[in-house]
Amino acid sequence: MPSAKRPDRSGRSPRPAGAAGATGPFTSLDFQLVLLRRMADHNPDLVDDARRKLGVSAADMREANRRWQAMLHSPRGRAAASRYRSVLGTPESVTERRIGDLTCEAWQWPLPLWPDLRFEVLVARKGAVWNEWLVRAPGAPAPELRTSADLRPWCCTVDEVARAFAPARPLEGTAPTRWGLSFTAADAQGVRRECAAEFTWGLLQRVSVTGQPR
């Protein structure tokens, strides 16, 4: 029997493309497909392009999401922090971080689809996961965000929009792994308007104008 192939450095799957329903280890590629599955509701064209870049089918993406959901809800499933280590391996970096009066660790992993970003998990001392999303990679240049016209899908993260258009106000997400921000930003003509931005796994998906000119 041939030995199982390991993922290559690009994060490609050890199984052939189109192998929906495949079993075996849940890989970094599978996890990227889980992220894409959530983003497909807002930007299906971007997701299709990314999926083709990874060399997998829409069925593969659905199957990866099904397996991920099964792991989340399994009564014998791993704790969240252990699950990420099992899927993504040893974090590229582990940094202590203070949030108010609390201390946690920020674990970060690279993902081939977004080389300028890192997937970050905030882990409390007892292993509880506080947050999990995409952030800008250390040393990677952040986009210049001056007007609402600069806010293109997938170009920036939650914290980058919050800093660029402070004071931004958090909005309740429409589903798990989704966030929202409300803020005032000038449009391409310099007219300031109330806007609402939606994020999935911390990455910008779309922006809508919600108010009259100010």
Residue 42 makes CB contacts below 8 A (sequence gap 6+) with 153, 198, 200, 205, 206
Residue 157 half-sphere exposure toward CB, CA atoms < 13 A = 19
Least confident of 108-112, 159-163, 188-192: 188-192
pTM reported for the whole predicted model: 0.85
| pLDDT computed for residue 1 by the predictor | 38
Q: Is the peptide bond between 7 and the residue preceding it cis, with omega within 30 degrees of 0?
A: no
**Per-residue tokens: 190:** 């310099």
| pLDDT computed for residue 73 by the predictor | 83
**CA–CA–CA angle 55, 139, 13 (5° rounding):** 15
**Per-residue tokens: 10:** 């690009």
- Answer whether 151's CB lies under 8 Å from 145's CB: yes
3-class secondary structure, 121 = strand
Task: Please give the average per-residue pLDDT across 166-173, as a whole number.
Answer: 91
Task: Please give the average per-residue pLDDT across 198-206, as a whole number.
Answer: 97
Mean pLDDT value across the chain:
87
Instruction: State the pLDDT confidence band at 125, using cuts at 50, 70 and 90.
Output: confident
Pairing of strands 117-124, 129-136: antiparallel
Q: What is the pLDDT of residues 15-28, one digit of tens each?
A: 433 344 456 899 99
Gyration radius of the chain's alpha carbons: 18
Give me the long-range contacts of 58-61 (CB less than 8 A, separation at least 24): 59/18, 59/20, 60/13, 60/17, 60/18, 60/19, 60/20, 60/22, 60/33, 61/33, 61/36, 61/37
- Answer whether 201's CB lies under 8 Å from 134's CB: yes
